[in-house]
Chains A and B, each alone.
Chain A
Amino acid sequence: MFSAIKRFSRNIIKSLFKKRENIKIGFYGPPNAGKTSLANRICKDWTGEEIGMVSKVPHETRNVQFKEKVEIKHKGKTLTFKLVDTPGIATKIDYEEFLNFGLKKDEAKKRAKEATQGIIESIQWLDDMDAVVVVLDAAENPYSQVNITIIGNLVARKIPVLIVGNKIDLKKADLSKIEAAFPDYDLVGISAKDGLNIEEFYESLFKLAKKA
C-alpha cells in the first residue's frame, strides 16, 4: 500500500517536471518581424549556437525550425523549453518582390514556392504549441489582418500569448500603437539585433511559461 502511494506520488512529480521540460514555445508573426533574430539571440545566449539564418529578403525562414531543451536561467529560476521558430505568416506571396532584392527569377520562384509551404506548415503547427511569442515589427502598422488572425487563433485555442514589439532601436518604432491594437496581452519591446531590453523579455517569457 505504502509503496503504491510512493510510486503514485513519484509519477505525479515526474509528470509535473516532464511537462515543464516539454513545453513548446512557438515564435509566430508576419515575415521580417525578427522571429529568427530573437530565436537566435536566445539560442546563442543559452545554448551557444544559433537556430537559423536571417536576411533582409522576406521569407528567409521557410521551414519550422526547433531547438530542443533550451535552458534559461533568470533571477534564480530555470526554464527549459523546446523553441519552435516558424516561417512568417502572410496572405500573399509574389516572387517578383524577391527580384527587387537581387534574386534571379528561378531562385525567386523557388523561394516563393517554399514560402507558401512554410506558411501552411506554420498554421498547422499552431495546435502543438503550449505558449506563443508573437513577434511584431514595432515600426510597422500593427493593425494588419495577419496579426489579428494569428492572435485570434491563439486565443481560440486557449494558448497563452506574449507580444514582442521588436526593432525598438528604429526611429519609427512605436510600441504604443501595438499596445492600442492589442490591449489585452502582455507586451514587451526589444531589439533582438542589439539585445536591447532582453532581460525584460526573459522576465516576460518566464511569466508566459507559467501560464502554459
Chain B
Amino acid sequence: MRAFFEKIGYETIIFLESYGRLGVFLARTVKSLFTSRFKLRPVIHQVHFIGARSTFVILFTGLFTGMVLGLQGYYTLRKFGSEGFLGSAVALSLIRELGPVLTALMVIGRAGSAICAEIGIMRNSEQIDALECMAVDPFRYLISPKLLAGIFALPLLTAIFDVVGIFGGYLVGVGLFNINTGAYFQGMYASVVWADVEMGLVKSLVFGLLLVWITACKGFYLHLERTGGFGAEGVSRTTTDAVVLSSVSVLVWDYLISALMI
C-alpha cells in the first residue's frame, strides 16, 4: 500500500517538475529577449533553417493536401448539387484549419526534431555548460533566436501552404472535374472573411512558439529527462518525446483556439 502511494507521489513530482521546467524555460527565454543586446544575424540564420529550408516540403504537402481536398470535396458537394462551393470549402478548410496544423506538424518533423537533437547534443558534450561558464546566457545565445524565428517563419510557411493548397484544389476541381474557374474563385471571395485569416494567423503564431518551445526545452534539459539521459540513445529518445509532445500540443491548442475564436 505504501509503495502504491510512493509511486503516485513520485509520478506527481516528476509530472510537476517536467511541466514546471517548460514554464521556467519559456520565462527565461522571453526574459533574455528584453535583458540583453538584440542581434539580428542569428535570428536570420534560424529563419533560414526553420523557414526557408522547410519551403519545399511545405510546397509539396500543401499542393497534395489541396488536391485531396478538391477530390473529396467535389464528391461530397456533388451529392448536394453544390459543386460550385468547392472553392469555398477548400479555402476555408485550409485557411482556418489544415494550413496552420499541417504546416506546424511538417515543421516539427523537419526542424523541431533537429532543434531538439542539436541542443541535446550540445548539452551532452558540455557545450551549454561552456556557454554558462563564459557568462554567455544560453537562452539568449541559443534559444531566443530560434523562438523568434519560429514565430516569424510559421505564419509565412502557412501562407505558402494555403496558397499552394488552393491551387491544388483548383487543379483537381477545374482541371479534372471541369468546375468553372470563376465559380471556384468567386465562391472563395464570397465566403472567406478576415476572421478566417485571423484565426489561421493566430494559430500559426502559437504553433511557431509551441514547436520551438517544446523541442528546444526537451533538448536543453535532456540530462534531467527520466526517459532521456545521456548518450546517443538519450538524444534519440528525447527527440522522439519532443516530436510527440509538440505534435499533440499543436492539436490540443488547435482545438482550444478554434473554440475561442469560432
The reply to whether chain A is a binding partner of chain B is no
